[in-house]
Amino acid sequence: MIGEPATVMSVAEAEDFALRILRGNGLADRQAEPIARAIALAEAAECPSHGLYRLIGYVGSIRSGRVNAAAQPRLCRVAGSFLRVDGDSGFAPAAHATGASALIEAARSNGIAALALTNCHHFSALWHDLDPIVEAGLACWAFTVGQCIVVPHGGTRRLMGTNPIAFGWPRSGEKPFVFDFATSAAARGQVELMGRAGKALPEGWAIDASGRPTPDPAEALAGALLPFGGYKGSALSMMVELLAGPLIGEPTSREAAALDNGDGGPPPGGELLIAVDPAIFNFGLADDWQQRAKAFFAEARKQPGVRLPSDRRYAAIQRSERHGISVPSALLEELKKLSPVVGTA
């Protein structure tokens, strides 16, 4: 809430804070380091729903034993340019770190490549997974199935996850064009944080356990979230369920929910990334694809009020690098209790 006491940390301090908590709970460095980096960057991007707050769930799943704290992801080439990482029942950021370079190489060699992250637990923002791939000059899509809390359009019972979709497009001399959004009206983490802050939900975000619209975050978490855009968001969410579930041998969100042990951590599930090399798809027309895309973005910016996706994130990261990040002091104290070795930030 406005006026809530906060502690200012540098991005590096936030990363170190997260790393010490994860290590203090027995998570191996190969797992902990990419998670801590993802958490710190989410805080820098002013995306607290995927920032330090997530440590509560990460630690919960480590302590319950559901996640393999010493997991060693393994990369294999399934066929052609289709790659798979077996996460060894660890966390998705480590699985992604294992396969990202191979995905880039395969896309550059073949024009298009796909990477399936399997047998892992996913909690992080998808834009973080896209960044290194798009910065390598590739266009990329990413899909993952979220916690089962969304009803299909017209329904009243949970069937789908928040099921985010992300896309990135490389831009020469400029920051990449990237978007990442849940197919639900809001991310579950955002609803949880609004509940902790005592805020009401906007109309059209959620229903209670009886299927009635509700502005109460607690009732929404006991009930269900709605897809964004009615039947359109519902259809996109179903697409993600299929692409990041049965297509790559992973559970749907409803199947994953049946395995939930209540530890508050990320659900078991996969992620699918599809990368394309525009230089090959452009049929050898030199940099024509870059110039035409540049003109397209320039036309968008000519219109007053237009903001490209990720403009806000890039600006937030610059602010955070200059001035630090502001973390609610109450949350920070709660997180310190997760590990006796953390002490003060």
pLDDT tens digits, 107-163: 999 999 999 999 999 988 999 999 999 999 999 999 999 899 999 999 999 999 999
The yes-or-no verdict on residue 203 having pLDDT over 80 is yes
Is residue 273 in a domain? yes
Is residue 14 in a domain? yes
- Tell me the H-state helices in the chain: 11-24, 29-44, 55-64, 92-110, 126-135, 188-196, 217-222, 231-243, 253-257, 278-281, 288-301, 311-323, 329-336
| Whether residue 174 sits in one domain with residue 162 | yes
Is residue 294 in a domain? no
The CATH number covering residue 205 comes to 3.30.60.50
| Whether residue 115 sits in one domain with residue 39 | yes
Instruction: Specify the pTM.
Output: 0.93
| Whether residue 268 sits in one domain with residue 143 | yes
- Dihedral sign for Cα 253, 256, 258, 262, please: negative
Q: How confident is the model at residue 75 (pLDDT cuts 50, 70, 90)?
A: very high
Bigger pLDDT: 288 vs 274: 274
The yes-or-no verdict on residue 332 having pLDDT over 70 is yes
The CATH number covering residue 43 comes to 3.30.1370.60
Give the residue carrying structure tokens 């229903």. Answer: 207
Is residue 180 in a domain? yes
| Whether residue 88 sits in one domain with residue 136 | yes
Is residue 302 in a domain? no
For residues 320 and 314, give the distance between their C-alpha atoms in angstroms, rounded to a whole number. 10
Q: At 82, list the tokens.
A: 């289709």
| Whether residue 152 sits in one domain with residue 114 | yes
Is residue 191 in a domain? yes
Domain boundary among 226, 251, 276: 226
Is residue 293 in a domain? no
The yes-or-no verdict on residue 5 having pLDDT over 70 is yes
Phi-psi region of 44 (alpha: psi -120 to 50; beta: other; left: phi over 0): alpha
Residue-wise pLDDT for 299-328, tens only, equals 999 999 999 999 999 999 999 999 999 999
Q: How confident is the model at residue 2 (pLDDT cuts 50, 70, 90)?
A: low
Domain interval for residue 135:
6-184+227-284+310-336
Give the residue carrying structure tokens 């849940």. Answer: 182
| Whether residue 261 sits in one domain with residue 206 | no
> For the chain, what is the domain count?
2
Please tell me the predicted confidence (pLDDT) of residue 1.
45
Q: How confident is the model at residue 281 (pLDDT cuts 50, 70, 90)?
A: confident
| Mean predicted confidence (pLDDT) in 263-285 | 88
Write the DSSP string, 97-121: HHHHHHHHHHHHHHSEEEEEEEEEE
Report the percent of the chain where pLDDT is more than 90: 87
Please tell me the predicted confidence (pLDDT) of residue 4.
74
| Whether residue 125 sits in one domain with residue 221 | no
Residue-wise pLDDT for 82-102, tens only, equals 999 999 999 999 999 999 999
| Whether residue 277 sits in one domain with residue 259 | yes
Please tell me the predicted confidence (pLDDT) of residue 181.
94
> Distance of CA 205 to CAs 53, 62, 188, 202, 217, Å?
21, 31, 10, 6, 10
| Mean predicted confidence (pLDDT) in 186-206 | 93
Amino acid at 278: P
| Whether residue 125 sits in one domain with residue 206 | no
| Whether residue 145 sits in one domain with residue 251 | yes
Q: Which residues are registered as beta bridge partners of 165?
A: 143, 181
| Whether residue 251 sits in one domain with residue 213 | no
| Whether residue 270 sits in one domain with residue 158 | yes
Q: What is the mean pLDDT of the chain?
A: 94
Is residue 295 in a domain? no
